[in-house]
Structure 1
């Protein structure tokens, strides 16, 4: 700068020099020797804002920490948003909603995971569709020979044998229809809508009362719910029908607790052995002594009901009551996906 590469230069920082325990200067200073051996000194302006050095240092540290926290918060939100969309998509698909491809955005790892998730749910959807198509085809193919068996049975002269044949044909036809309804899971295809849940329950209860069944539903609280009303009506009909069939009467209650809707259906029957409670949700499983086919269906009602409830993001459980009776508990989230 001075065309004197050998010029002497001195620099100092605040508090570099102390006299009598006090800093001589609180500024950054640089001094350059001129050609006549005089010195020119430059220093920087420094604002103290009326604060001592330790206070200014503390404020600077707090400002740095606050800025770092703000930047980290923005960055974490940017990184967490794709993960949240990923989690929401997985929960929605798990609740039975149609498969919707997940948007590929965010860091490379998230995009790769989203692409794998899209491929996975597409494969699962194809498998579910193929299963439904297969069962539909089997059902269609079975209807024709069953119809022919019934037509040929018309030519049987023995009335007793004819009656037995027709009974078997009707049972096989009913089993085919029940299996088809179970595997189709019609409740998944119904659109979600807002409806009055207590009114839906009262409608089912009134249907049973109209045919002389003992069904109680005291003081149902009004509740607007978003779900699939026809599917939930099937669940309620099945559970109340089981209660009045095997327990002589049914009591239905509705309440909201801990962000959940709780529906209970109690009966006064003998209950179920604890070791068999979980097995009642297996397709085609029946307890022979108390729940045989002469008085019931084919063991698909409870599995179908649990599938519908789980498609709403909830759960269906059974428990024995004291001193006797069975309780069906339907747990539904306040806002199903």
Structure 2
């Protein structure tokens, strides 16, 4: 796969995602700050100040000057405050904020007053004169009365019911929270192709065939995914070729074994004939066991959802029907995503070993965190600790004679562990106290339906 241009690289892709996350976070912050500002300091129009100011100005203009200050205080409401000033220079609004002739708001106000030449001053938090020591930090209107005194109205600042410092703190917390949420979403989007790659590698490393990775994302990720898909395919072909070769060798051994048995019929010494037939039968059984092992290793049963507790019940009932001392306890209902036939073979093998070497079997099922745990306990003598790891080696048996009357050929436990690892799980053995052996099956509970 060839590189096309720099804009397809992971660096550019990362930069675009980060820039997009920053822009979205800034937009959210601007919207919040704007909303908070408008709510805390409503505009003249939204507060209905123009109409109320005109009505109050007409009323106060008719009241004697000595009573205007007291009346103004009485007319103060939660929506706006009213103050009367005898002189222009007492009004905390600079002359720079005189009414504009083209502003329809003030034209409307002077018409309502019936005095088009009336002086009107207006102020907002954004255009306060920097040199005004007593300047207002909110929306305000000052109207000149007929005797050249002034009545001023300013909108009340809403406090959200909390102190100013806490308001600032909440605003900062919102900025940090929104930025964190956006950054987290952008991070997940950036990490998603890499996470898919890691999951596929883990699945394939556990022995299962992972689905081919989709070729999406920046150029470097697509190249790595394509290389992984090709590597997985080559390794799988090598494994399939190995299995086919070993299966063919085991199959081809049948013909010479059959010829040996036929030629053994012509041996006149009965004792030698019996020993030869016994060896031929043992070799034949080993070949059949090897064929079964290799076929199982190469099979890939489809994943499906099934009731794991019911599967264990079925296996237990099969052994009970044969008169075997097998019991189950704490088989909680659990829907599992896996390969039921393969798991049934594992349970059958482990229970059969427990009955054969430990006189009885007790099976339990539980779920802990993200794992499903199945235990099979027996009452046998156990196994020397130094030999437990060797039990998972193909063809290894503690009883070295390989007598078919005392067991199989040492392929059951290796096959069971292979199946468990294909599920992403594990199979372990440990001695119990005071005696007995415990086989524990660990399975990943990816379905989570407990």
Moved more, 226-235 or 97-106: 97-106
Q: Deviations over 1:224-249 (max 9, x none)?
A: 32221211111111111111111111
- Pair 1:205-2:319 in alignment: no
1:103 maps to which residue? 214
Q: CA deviation at 1:320?
A: 0.4
Contact 1:99 1:122 in 2 (8 A): no
Contact 1:312 1:336 in 2 (8 A): no
Counterparts in 2 of 1:58 and 1:252: CA distance versus 1, 3 Å:
closer
- TM-score normalized by structure 2? 0.59
Q: Deviations over 1:94-141 (max 9, x none)?
A: 444435321122123322321221122112101111111111211122
CA RMSD of aligned residues (A): 3.4
Counterparts in 2 of 1:67 and 1:132: CA distance versus 1, 3 Å:
same
Match of 2:261 among 129, 137, 150: 150
Q: CA deviation at 1:89?
A: 2.0
Counterparts in 2 of 1:236 and 1:290: CA distance versus 1, 3 Å:
farther
Counterparts in 2 of 1:287 and 1:68: CA distance versus 1, 3 Å:
same
Match of 1:176 among 267, 280, 287: 287
Counterparts in 2 of 1:69 and 1:240: CA distance versus 1, 3 Å:
closer
Q: Deviations over 1:204-228 (max 9, x none)?
A: 2232223332212245333332221
2:407 maps to which residue? 296
Counterparts in 2 of 1:283 and 1:293: CA distance versus 1, 3 Å:
same
- Pair 1:250-2:361 in alignment: yes
- Pair 1:92-2:203 in alignment: yes
Query: How far apart are the structure 1 equivalents of 2:268 and 2:306?
Result: 55
- Pair 1:121-2:206 in alignment: no
Query: How far apart are the structure 2 equivalents of 1:154 and 1:213?
Result: 39
Q: CA deviation at 1:65?
A: 5.7
Match of 1:133 among 244, 251, 260: 244
Matches within 5 A, 1:264-303: 264-288=375-399, 294-303=405-414
- TM-score normalized by structure 1? 0.77
Matches within 5 A, 1:316-331: 316-331=427-442
1:38 maps to which residue? none
Moved more, 284-293 or 313-322: 284-293
Counterparts in 2 of 1:318 and 1:159: CA distance versus 1, 3 Å:
same
Q: Which has the larger radius of gyration?
A: 2
Match of 2:347 among 218, 236, 255: 236
Query: How far apart are the structure 1 equivalents of 2:314 and 2:172?
Result: 67
Which SS does the other structure have where 2:406 is aligned? coil
1:313 maps to which residue? 424
Moved more, 152-161 or 305-314: 152-161
Moved more, 324-333 or 180-189: 180-189
2:119 maps to which residue? none
Moved more, 86-95 or 58-67: 58-67
Query: How far apart are the structure 2 equivalents of 1:252 and 1:55?
Result: 60
Query: How far apart are the structure 2 equivalents of 1:155 and 1:266?
Result: 49
Contact 2:335 2:447 in 1 (8 A): no
Contact 2:329 2:365 in 1 (8 A): no
Counterparts in 2 of 1:261 and 1:291: CA distance versus 1, 3 Å:
farther
Counterparts in 2 of 1:249 and 1:291: CA distance versus 1, 3 Å:
farther
